[in-house]
Chains A and B, each alone.
Chain A
Amino acid sequence: MSRLPVRKTYKLFIGGAFPRSESGRTLELEGYNVARASRKDAREAVVAARKAFAGWSGATAYNRGQVLYRLAETMETRVAAFAAACSGRREVARAIDRVVWYAGWADKLAQVLGSANPVAGPYFNFTLPEPTGVVAIVAPAEPALDGLVARLAPAVVGGNAVVVVASDAHPLAAIELAEAVATSDVPAGVVNVLTGLRPELAPVLAAHMDVNAIDVTGADGDVAALEALAAENVKRVVRAREDRSPWEIAAFMELKTVWHPIGR
């Protein structure tokens, strides 16, 4: 008799742990009973992200770069699992290379996006990029893995903490990615993943007063409604503009300008 494979239970990823939905609900998606996150799960994820933000944004850029590179390493060891959850090995390779590419940006961002400003007076004046805070990402449905990585990596490398609403067409890739994140050195809460129904979850995050930005790249027809909700606390609304670019990172960053007098 052939051996029965041990099947995985796909759960949420919140604050570094893999809980089931507090609601006890699941959805049968891609052949698995995937957790159907509730509004409360979404709020818990925001709390976890906010808690993680200070440490992650306060880490040195060099450290963040190394941690993200470590994520690429842990992804590389899971190629087979990822390939099964997306279009295949080529997509996995693209996603991993993308993580490496963004990892390298961590300690170059301030030099490319920042500036020393020649003001007309005896002041030293400089501008630096800083992460905006907690970012909600509505993951694109396609490509299942690389589409998510393309939005997640630029948000995280700059020091933000994210809450991902996984695509309801392809949630498995998102949870596989969460498992790679959990076994890399990404601190708990920096990446949180919710599976379930996008129309249920995305508006909760769009309206949440402790979310600073929302990426609507994967929101399809819901963009207008999400943007209207986002206005309640002047969230930054982000859409993918380029395939990979430091400006994709910049979209999740604030700019801070500091003045100080020069004198004897």
Chain B
Amino acid sequence: MGAVEKPRDALPVTAGWEYASSLEGREIVSFEERYGLFIGGDHVTPRSRSWFTTVSPSTEEPLAEVAQAGPRDVALAVEAAQEAFERWSTWRPAERAKVLFRIARVLQERARELAVAESLDGGKPIKESRDVDLPLAAAHFFYYAGWADKLEYAFPGRRPRPLGVAAQIVPWNFPLLMLAWKIAPALACGNTVVLKPAETTPLTALLFADVCRQAEVPPGVVNIVTGDGSTGAHLVRADGIAKVAFTGSTEVGKAIQRELAGRDIPLTLELGGKAANIVFDDCALDQAVEGIVNGIYFNQGHVCCAGSRLLVQESIHDQLVRKLKRRMATLRVGDPLDKNTDVGAINSKAQLDRITELVQSGTDEGAELYQPPCRLPEKGWWFAPTVFTNVAQSHRIAQEEIFGPVLSVLTFRTPDEAVEKANNTMYGLSAGVWTEKGSRILWMADRLRSGVVWGNTFNRFDPASPFGGYKESGFGREGGRHGLEAYLRFE
């Protein structure tokens, strides 16, 4: 056996190639030395008199100083949003729509600048920020712009009304795209917002403030308060908010739900995941391998719906793992601004430590680790694409969200067993199924307890497609007609 398999195990010839770099120019972006808070249409100095530095995770170079908003700053932002709500909510919906259309257009016009900024501040490959984050962010505003003056058609038999000030907290994995997911439906429904970007990725949100200026968004309709988790906590506790929308960890989501207990403030939570990507023996194997790679190594695995648990039908396990390892060897890890890069930098030191710790637990618990040979840059935070085989369901790497480029491979024999194992998690955000049998796709889709099921594809997103979780992956949907409901009350 070994002698036969050896040549097939060999690395693909491209694995050893040197590539000329193809750098996206960073001159297109210029950051201020220091950013205040964006409140009431102005950049204001924080009352907290406190600042922090945001750095590039790929080089550790400081990019800008950013305000650390305290409770007083958050209160001022909410007041500005309340004041703006009085007028904005009475705008003719068709005019409100036009503001959102303008935002979509400005995002398209400044897409390259914003993509570079996103890759600099967050570490994601430019080909992803350019081809995924920016087009989808613009599309999201375009989609919800069209809803602004059609809300009465979205909910038969109900009279929709805006809620007021929406407090929105977004994560660091898709900073601008998550901002778009939050702000676009909120504004389309006539709400105003106070948005807190993630501590490690505030810059595109601050550039978005300038997008608002260009689009002539009325002052106070969009307010941006930067800071760490404490700023988010102040925002959730602030008087005057009428809605909380949070995307982030399940742990923080639970804390927010507890914080809001008894206040009757509508809440949407988009939390963690541990998605099963289920591969049957009759699938198109090479397509499945591409889907697996996209499912877990897209955005360094910093994706709540990442396909982090690979469930493979036992009969094809060895063949699939062999193909997967070969494919992994062609992934290029490195400079996010290089257009050839597939896997960029880990977003922060803290996240790198968490990934490292969980990967260590995988090895300690007896799973078998594989990483393709790859040279990681010396500066910055990096983690090589990783796959674990021989994983048991009880292993931490099969249960906990790693939020990094780490895949755990488990096996199953029957469709029932696949369903049982896939659903054996507190999460329920997404799942993938690979089979050429149409009836099986639908049978599986019916039984998987998750908000999104990708059949013969993975990690697809669209503004028209509702996204959100079952179980401890959260509640409420973002995207599509269903995404409007989170930002409306009904008379």
Contacts of B451 in A (CB 8 A): 254-257
B470 in complex: contacting residue of A125, A223, A228, A254, CB < 8 Å:
A254
Cβ-defined contact, B475 with A257, below 8 A = no
- Closest A residue to B472 by beta carbon equals A234
- Asked if A224 is at the interface of the complex by the 8 Å CB criterion, the answer is yes
Cβ-defined contact, B157 with A245, below 8 A = yes
B261 in complex: contacting residue of A212, A225, A236, CB < 8 Å:
A225
Complex interface residues of chain B between 259 and 295 (CB less than 8 A to chain A): 260-264, 269, 271
B294 to chain A, nearest CB (A): 13
Contact A255:B466 (CB < 8 A) given known A231-B261, A232-B254, A234-B253: yes
Cβ-defined contact, A259 with B261, below 8 A = no
Q: How far is the CA of A201 from the CA of B353 in the complex (A)?
A: 43
B471 in complex: contacting residue of A227, A234, A239, A261, CB < 8 Å:
A234
Interface of A is mostly: mixed
Complex interface residues of chain B between 461 and 491 (CB less than 8 A to chain A): 462, 464-468, 470-475, 477, 480-482, 490
B182 to chain A, nearest CB (A): 18
Cβ-defined contact, A115 with B257, below 8 A = no
Among B184-192, B306-314, B331-339, B452-460, the stretch that binds chain A is B452-460
- Asked if B139 is at the interface of the complex by the 8 Å CB criterion, the answer is yes
Contact A258:B455 (CB < 8 A) given known A127-B480, A227-B262, A233-B471: yes
Contacts of B471 in A (CB 8 A): 212, 233-234
Cβ-defined contact, B457 with A259, below 8 A = yes
Q: How far is the CA of A121 from the CA of B271 in the complex (A)?
A: 26
- Asked if B258 is at the interface of the complex by the 8 Å CB criterion, the answer is yes
Contacts of A236 in B (CB 8 A): 475
Q: How far is the CA of A261 from the CA of B451 in the complex (A)?
A: 18
Contacts of B464 in A (CB 8 A): 117-120, 125
Cβ-defined contact, A121 with B482, below 8 A = no
Q: How far is the CA of A256 from the CA of B433 in the complex (A)?
A: 14
- Asked if A123 is at the interface of the complex by the 8 Å CB criterion, the answer is yes
B437 to chain A, nearest CB (A): 12
Q: How far is the CA of A237 from the CA of B474 in the complex (A)?
A: 12
Complex interface residues of chain A between 225 and 247 (CB less than 8 A to chain B): 225-228, 230-234, 236, 239, 241-242, 245-247
Cβ-defined contact, B466 with A257, below 8 A = yes
- Asked if B330 is at the interface of the complex by the 8 Å CB criterion, the answer is no
- Asked if B7 is at the interface of the complex by the 8 Å CB criterion, the answer is no
- Closest A residue to B438 by beta carbon equals A260
A242 to chain B, nearest CB (A): 8
Q: Flag B326-365 by CB within 8 Å of A: 1 or 0 each.
A: 0000000000000000000000000000000000000000
B269 in complex: contacting residue of A227, A230, A234, CB < 8 Å:
A234
Q: Flag B154-170 by CB within 8 Å of A: 1 or 0 each.
A: 01111000000000000
Cβ-defined contact, A117 with B466, below 8 A = yes
Contacts of B466 in A (CB 8 A): 115, 117, 127, 255, 257
- Asked if B11 is at the interface of the complex by the 8 Å CB criterion, the answer is no
Q: How many residues of B contact A (CB 8 A)?
A: 47
A49 to chain B, nearest CB (A): 16
- Asked if B450 is at the interface of the complex by the 8 Å CB criterion, the answer is yes
A115 to chain B, nearest CB (A): 6
Q: How far is the CA of A234 from the CA of B482 in the complex (A)?
A: 20
Q: How far is the CA of A120 from the CA of B465 in the complex (A)?
A: 10
- Closest B residue to A115 by beta carbon equals B481
- Asked if B441 is at the interface of the complex by the 8 Å CB criterion, the answer is yes
Cβ-defined contact, A261 with B261, below 8 A = no
Q: How far is the CA of A158 from the CA of B473 in the complex (A)?
A: 21
- Closest A residue to B464 by beta carbon equals A117
Contacts of B156 in A (CB 8 A): 112
- Asked if B426 is at the interface of the complex by the 8 Å CB criterion, the answer is yes
Complex interface residues of chain A between 103 and 142 (CB less than 8 A to chain B): 112, 115, 117-121, 123, 125, 127, 132
Q: How far is the CA of A123 from the CA of B475 in the complex (A)?
A: 25
- Closest A residue to B257 by beta carbon equals A231
Cβ-defined contact, B477 with A255, below 8 A = yes
Q: How far is the CA of A238 from the CA of B175 in the complex (A)?
A: 31
B164 to chain A, nearest CB (A): 17
- 7 more contacts with CB within 8 A, not counting A127-B480, A234-B473, are A115-B481, A121-B460, A121-B462, A230-B261, A234-B250, A257-B480, A258-B453
Q: List 27 A-B contacts (CB under 8 A).
A: A112-B156, A117-B465, A117-B480, A127-B465, A223-B262, A224-B262, A230-B261, A231-B257, A231-B261, A233-B426, A234-B257, A234-B271, A234-B472, A234-B473, A234-B475, A236-B475, A255-B451, A255-B466, A255-B477, A256-B450, A256-B452, A256-B453, A257-B466, A258-B455, A259-B460, A260-B441, A260-B456
Q: Which residues of B contact A (CB under 8 A)?
A: 139, 155-158, 250, 253-255, 257-258, 260-264, 269, 271, 426, 441, 445, 450-457, 460, 462, 464-468, 470-475, 477, 480-482, 490
